[in-house]
Structure 1
Amino acid sequence: MWWTYADPSWARIAALVPVVVSCAEAGDEVANKILLDSVQELALSVKAVVKRLGLCGEEGKNSFPLVMVGGVLEANKSWDIGKEVIKYISKEFPGAVSIRPKVEPAVGAALLAWNTYMNER
């Protein structure tokens, strides 16, 4: 427990994901529970943002992109955390469309800015 509180940065905690996934794949029940709880917590956070921004429309049925980025959301052998998160979100928001970008987020942001700039000219 001291290890966690000594440096609670997201990167340090996220670095444990491959270890937890490996344990879950080996049948460890505690590791599976950690992953399931993490998926549910992440999905709850995403749902809150979707509602707050009104991405889903008034009835929750509108289509909207959900960009899935980050090493934690990448698929492993038997655990695809990103897929599990989408599954939870889609129950409440069937219009969520999962997008896995082909470029890094910073490159995507630069391309979006460039396209916006060019369209305004």
Structure 2
Amino acid sequence: MSRRVSLPTADELFRPTARRHDGGSGPRPVERPVEVAVAEPETGDAGATAKRPSGRVRHDEKMTVYITSDELMDLEHARLLLRRRHGLAVDRGRVVREAISIALADFELNGDDSVIVQRLRDH
């Protein structure tokens, strides 16, 4: 009997686990980007500044979010474009925290007219 451990191959580890909702197997159609104009928040009466994403710090809280493989590929593509075109070497978590910050600032500023409200109503 061999003492070698049998490990799964890369094909087994990275196999697709679900079909696309539209039945296709290729890449997902690219959605048009939504332009969001977020005004710079003003300081309040107490001189408090607007909330900013945490950036590169140690985070004490954790949240798990499940996304499709296409969404993960889109996120990774955006991360690589940020690096290639803008010289920003950031990880996916930082991109997600920035996106959340932008969406929440837009929601706070525009309420019912915010992009997040419109998109959540549409889906």
Higher helix share: 1
Query: Which bracket does the TM-score occupy, shorter chain normalised?
Result: under 0.3
Q: TM-score, normalised by structure 1?
A: 0.27
Structure-2-length-normalised TM-score: 0.27
